Every structure is written in structure tokens, then in C-alpha cells.
Amino acid sequence: MSDGTTGGDEPLRVILAKLGLDGHDRGLKVVARMLRDAGVEVIYLGLRQTTDTIINAAEQEDADAIGLSMHNAGHLTLAPRMVDAVKDAGLDIPVIVGGIIPEEDAIELSEKGVAAVLGPGASTEDVIGAIRNSVTT
């Protein structure tokens, strides 16, 4: 199933954000559009978000997943911080990271609780598959 539903009729609800001061948002906008076109409900927070603003949005929007775009080499610090913030808030929402992330860092992120890591050129099916797999596990 490559559509943006939870497996039934309900669309997936995904928060998309740039955590920290990274100002490169073109890739995140591309992902937002591909997800919307596939029927996913996208809550686009955009640039310069904090863990608190992302958690608040996830709670208010009843999000199924949080997607972070990382391009500033802060992924080993910021992504685990987001995973910890989700746990501290008592939420069961997977954190998925995309961007320019070396393979060895992707392994470390996975060990630190990131549900999936997607690199440049990930297809719509790759992104939705990562979200769906993360939500159902």
C-alpha cells in the first residue's frame, strides 16, 4: 500500500519540521508536497523549531509521526534530543529523520531510537513506507 492512510480510511498525520537553526528547507518542502499528494495530512512547522514546539504540535494535532529534516550535521545531537522529548512527554510517536546523513550515523541514530533514516532521493514510496512501518511497530 503506497497511499497515505493508516491501512484503513484514516490518513496518516505527520508533523514535518526543521529542528534547530538549520535554514535549508527545500527538501522538507518537497517531502511535504509528496506526502500531501499521497493523501497524508501534513502539519508543516517549517524552520527553526524547538523540541517543545514540535511536541506541542504533535499533541494538538494527534500526529502519527514526526519527520525531521537534517542538513547541518547536527543530527547526532538534535534527533536523539527529539526522541527523548517525545518519550518525556509520554507520547508514542516515531521520529523519522531525513537529509544528508552518513550511513554510520544512520546506524547510531537507529540505536538512539530514531525510527527511520531517509537519504537524498528517497521516493514517495520509501517515505510513506518508512512512516507506515514506524507507526505500526
Q: Report the distance separating Cα 114 and Cα 111, nearest Å.
A: 7
- Kindly report, residue by residue over 43-52, the tens digit of the pLDDT: 999 899 999 9
User: Could you give the number of structural domains in the chain?
Assistant: 1
Per-residue pLDDT averaged across 75-83, rounded? 94
77 found inside a domain? yes
- The model carries a pTM of 0.90
Position 95 scores a pLDDT of: 98
Q: How confident is the model at residue 28 (pLDDT cuts 50, 70, 90)?
A: confident
| pLDDT of residue 1 exceeding 50 | no
In the block, residue with C-alpha cell 527523548? 84
pLDDT at residue 5, rounded to an integer? 56
CATH number of the domain residue 87 falls in: 3.40.50.280
Beta bridge partners of 71: none
Ramachandran assignment for 5, one of left (phi > 0), alpha (psi -120 to 50 degrees), beta (any other): beta
Residue with cell 508533523: 15
> Is the model more confident about 90 or about 1?
90
Percent of the chain with pLDDT over 70: 93
- Which pLDDT value is given to residue 71? 76
Query: In this structure, is residue 97 part of a structural domain?
Result: yes
pLDDT, averaged across the chain = 90
Domain for residue 43, yes or no?
A: yes
Q: What is the pLDDT of residues 97-122, one digit of tens each?
A: 999 899 899 999 999 999 999 988 89
Domain that holds residue 111: 13-136
Fill in the amino acid letter for 23: G
The answer to whether 124 and 102 have CB atoms below 8 angstroms apart is: no
pLDDT band at 8 (very low <50, low <70, confident <90, very high): low
At a CB cut-off of 8 Å and minimum separation 6, what does 37 contact? 124
